[in-house]
Amino acid sequence: MKTQFFKTAKRLFYPQRCAYCGRVIDPFTELCDACAQEVCRVPPPICFACARSKKDCDCGGAHNRFVTAFAAPFYFDGSVRTAIHRLKFSGDTDVAAPLSREMANFACEVFAHVQFDCATFVPMTDREQKERGFNQSRLLCVGAAKALGIPTQPLLCKLYETRRQRELSRWERSGNVLGVFDVVDPSLVAGKRILLCDDVTTSRSTLTECAKMLRIYGAREVFCLTAAVVSPRDNRKG
């Protein structure tokens, strides 16, 4: 009741902005009309090997030794692409809340019968984090995990900097992240069923490398959840 009162009061003084693009919009709506129209959801049933809808999947159900399933509520397209770019490159951290809520809702749907012990995120080096001021994967993870009622634990660290994955070809990407991550405290990982979060699923090599380390240290299962997965029309960008 009280929160609702303050929300209402706040809206009288501060204009409501679209959660994805930042445009001023009608109070008490979340997205502007353009963004609402351009949202590209991933319609279940999904392919757990690539996170796309089964009707859009061209991965042939590729087996992954380390990741039990990949999932994402959106395709990396339209307004969700704008939102993730604003989050990563303009530092609009407000975008993380609506995206992480969608991640949690989607996880409830597609991972309905999975009991997670904890959630974790793709780490950055200290320098990378200092440069950006925050880790977008951590923000998305914290939001999603809170909505799912599971704790977030920083289980992984990034040992050294790599070239940006999006500058590399699909084939260079897995080599680029090989051996880059490590587990912070093995005792927190052993026997656990872990939800691993990131912003966008592209080649899956970063998530797979993180999952590999978690599994090496005894994680029971690793499920990957991102805000978006690269759309079927676009295999390279991200």
| Interacting residues toward Zn ion by CB under 5 A | 18, 20-21, 32, 35, 47, 49-50, 57, 59
| Shortest reach from residue 25's CB to Zn ion, in Å | 7
Residue whose structure tokens are 């939001």 = 143
Cα 95–chain centre separation: 12
Pairing type for strands 156-158 and 181-183 reads: antiparallel
Q: How far apart are CA 207 and CA 14, in angstroms?
A: 39
Residue whose structure tokens are 């993730």 = 84
Q: Which is nearer to Zn ion, 69 or 210 (CB)?
A: 69
Phi then psi for residue 12, to 5 deg, are: -70, -30
Q: Which is nearer to Zn ion, 35 or 42 (CB)?
A: 35
Q: Which is nearer to Zn ion, 39 or 184 (CB)?
A: 39
Q: Which is nearer to Zn ion, 217 or 223 (CB)?
A: 223
Q: Residue 139 corresponds to which amino acid?
A: L
| Shortest reach from residue 126's CB to Zn ion, in Å | 34
Contact 143, 104 (CB under 8 A): yes
| Shortest reach from residue 49's CB to Zn ion, in Å | 4
Long-range CB contacts (< 8 A, 24+ apart) of 127-135? 127/161, 128/158, 128/161, 132/88, 132/91, 133/91, 134/91, 134/93
| Shortest reach from residue 203's CB to Zn ion, in Å | 13
Q: Which is nearer to Zn ion, 109 or 161 (CB)?
A: 109
| Shortest reach from residue 187's CB to Zn ion, in Å | 34
